[in-house]
Amino acid sequence: MVKKTAFLFPGQGSQSIGMGLELYQEYDFVREVFDMAEEITKIHLSRLCFNGPMEDLTQTVNLQPAVTAVNLACLAAVKKEGVKADITAGHSLGEYSALYASGAVSKEDVCSLVLKRGELMHRESTRHKGAMHAIIGLSIDAVDKLVKEVRAEGVVAVANHNTAYQIVITGAPAQVEKVSSLASLQGAKTIPLKVSGAWHSELIKGAEDEFKGFLETVPFNAPEIPIVHNVTADFAMNSDEIKEVMAKQFCSPVRWYDSMRRLMDEKVEIFAEIGPGKVLAGLLKKILPENYPCKIYNINNMKTLEAFLKEIT
């Protein structure tokens, strides 16, 4: 019996200098992915990904297309070997790569979407200073309670529900700091994140309608492979529904924990993180029960690609 496979795509925070280089050197079709992404974005993505500097790579306007190009390149290498997913999902920015993997959007349109998303997010972050902190050790209900207490004083919200006890908050710096302090008093560990804006919060809501308008110009198809969405931790059945969910994703929390639990309900046994880093594999190991039967892979260079193919083909 073939085991059910999910392809997972990382987002911001998974980048590193040199990402995608090995596959770029190995495969013509990977070079074509980068060429296509560079043509659409007018950004020298291969140079940024392979050589940096990190300061330029991590600018939101560059980072969103760069991580996406590497995700698509890694996916191209997997697809070339005939490996298909039964379900797909992506973390925040990574959800756009998942849209392409599901057949809902073309890879060209994905590059246009993440370029626009990055530009709008950057614009809003220059208008409204924001911060994000990871809170480790409290449940979502406990963090929600603290957020509600502080929300009257200014913008603060849950950005990512990553694992049962790893939640990222987002908002105005003073309010994020206050929630963090209250969480620390309850024994949580808090980590300020290196981000340039309050992603997934009302502070970037000024761009939501504009992004929604841009989404309307992009042709979406019904997905060939089901995709679990960040906003709902559920599937969307048709293209209109997907557009609606993706418009909401801009300022809504990423329900990653619930999404991965949904993949467990679907009896997924092979999880393949396709793209730079190991962030999603790390989160999965904290989410899945110890006795849950599965294998977790990262695919982002020749060695990891070969190890994955050896196991499953």
Identify the pLDDT of residue 14.
Answer: 96
Domains along the chain? 5-126+202-312 (3.40.366.10), 129-192 (3.30.70.250)
pLDDT at 312 (0 to 100): 85
Residue 132 has pLDDT above 90, yes or no: yes
The residues that are catalytic are 92, 200
Q: How far apart are CA 97 and CA 305, in angstroms?
A: 18
Contact 10, 70 (CB under 8 A): no
Collapse the DSSP code of 74 into the 3-class scheme (helix H, G, I; strand E, B; otherwise coil) and give the result: helix
- The answer on pLDDT for 56 being more than 80 is yes
Mean pLDDT of 42-56: 97
Mean model confidence pLDDT for the chain: 96
Q: In which band, very low, low, confident or very high, does the pLDDT at 299 lie, cut at 50, 70 and 90?
A: very high
End-to-end CA distance of the chain: 13
pLDDT(2) > 80: no
pLDDT band at 196; cut points 50, 70, 90: confident
What pLDDT, in 10s, does the model give residues 146-174?
999 999 999 999 999 999 999 999 999 99
Quick one: pLDDT band at residue 1, thresholds 50, 70, 90? low
Q: What mean pLDDT is predicted for residues 238-250?
A: 95
Provide the residue count of the chain.
313
Query: In whole angstroms, what is the distance from residue 231 CA to residue 268 CA?
Result: 20
Contact criterion met (CB below 8 Å) for 197 and 122: yes
CB 285 within 8 A of CB 297: no
